[in-house]
């Protein structure tokens, strides 16, 4: 865990991120369903935090949820994400953030594939940076 990354001022993130990335990862926004660039990505590889580069998800846990957002059964490492109760927008949800820099990634739900643990990490494409497997 890098406490330094979590205390960067807004100006740092504004200079590092695009306006859409900033809106989602720093202001807890949500990209439009089915509009994200990784919804239909089926390549083998790794998804990193767009803000800090931490490895977050791997292609072998990605599945077709039909939700319109990239969906994963598990993070690459439980320590790489943090979970927070979120009661915004009149819903009780569990927010997922990058545990290295605090970036908002999306939410986790318990309606994922039963045979793979039952979790669905519903993640904004814009919060991710995909590196294809070499």
Whether the CB-CB separation of 49 and 57 falls below 8 Å is answered with: no
Strand, coil or helix: what is 56?
Answer: strand
Of the candidate spans 29-37, 38-46, 71-79, 103-111, the one that interacts with Fe ion by CB under 5 A turns out to be 103-111
Q: How far apart are the first and last CA of the chain?
A: 27
Beta carbons within 10 angstroms of residue 116's beta carbon: 13
Helix (H) and strand (E) counts in the chain: 3, 9
- 49 is known as an active-site residue: no
Could you say which of 21, 61, 100, 119 contacts Fe ion (CB under 5 A)?
A: 100
Binding flags for Fe ion, 38-77, as an x/- string (CB under 5 A):
-----------x-xx-x-----------------------
Q: Catalytic residues, which ones?
A: 122
Give the interface with Fe ion as residue ranges (CB under 5 A): 49, 51-52, 54, 98, 100-101, 103
């Amino acid at each position: 865990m890098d406490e330094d990354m979590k205390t960067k001022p807004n100006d740092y993130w504004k200079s590092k991120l695009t306006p859409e990335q900033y809106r989602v990862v720093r202001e807890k926004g949500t990209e439009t369903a089915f509009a994200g660039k990784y919804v239909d990505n089926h390549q083998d590889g790794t998804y990193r935090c767009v803000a800090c580069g931490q490895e977050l998800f791997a292609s072998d846990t990605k599945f077709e949820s039909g939700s319109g957002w990239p969906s994963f059964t598990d993070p690459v490492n439980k320590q790489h994400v943090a979970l927070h109760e979120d009661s915004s927008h009149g819903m009780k949800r569990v927010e997922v953030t990058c545990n290295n820099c605090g970036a908002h990634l999306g939410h986790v739900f318990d309606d994922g594939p039963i045979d793979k643990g039952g979790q669905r990490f519903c993640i904004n494409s814009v919060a991710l940076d995909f590196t294809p497997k070499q």
